[in-house]
Amino acid sequence: MGFFNQVANYAHKAELRESKDEILVGELIRSLSHRGWRVCQVVAHSDRQQVAFKLPGDEVLSRVTIMVDRRSGSGALTQSLGSKTVVSVAAEMRNDVADPDDLAAMWRTDLANLFKVPVRGEVRVNHQLNKVTARTFDMVDLDQMVQGHQVNAAGFVDWLLGMTDNLREHLRPHKK
């Protein structure tokens, strides 16, 4: 094996190390698609991937967006995070008809959100006229789920589904 091969192998391994979040997102898309969730939006660049799904047949939710943000900047904070990655889940519920009473709810939630400091795991509801969203975020350790090519995302997918269930219950009272 010559110098060329050594360099190429190093570059290849570096690519895989840098691709852990993409590997996880790929597995996420596959797992959720097989559960009947339908991809409707993919926004991805080097260290942040966002995938939105439609949930046909769901009694409350119309759309769920999952964002995996590796935050691989060069700052001290992002370096200290290592393989820790921020995962956000936003669930959206739509009402076809806007109710004037929604205005009052909208202002209440807007006001409440104004004084909320982002805390991991906390659910924040945002009320628009005919759309209500609930979002939360947490941190996951990519190294625990992706090692080389090996992906163990089953636990991650279950955890995401649990988060979605939680958001659904926050939105259910607003469903008309």
In the complex, the residues that contact other proteins under the rule CB under 8 A are 2, 4-5, 7-8, 11-12, 14-16, 18-19, 22-23, 25-27, 29-30, 33-34, 38-46, 49, 51, 54, 56, 96-97, 148-151
C-beta separation of 62 from 72 below 8 A: no
* Residue with Cβ nearer other proteins (76 or 97): 97
* Residue with Cβ nearer other proteins (125 or 145): 145
Q: How far is the CB of 10 from other proteins (least distance, A)?
A: 9
Q: How far is the CB of 119 from other proteins (least distance, A)?
A: 29
C-beta separation of 100 from 59 below 8 A: no
Q: How far is the CB of 117 from other proteins (least distance, A)?
A: 29
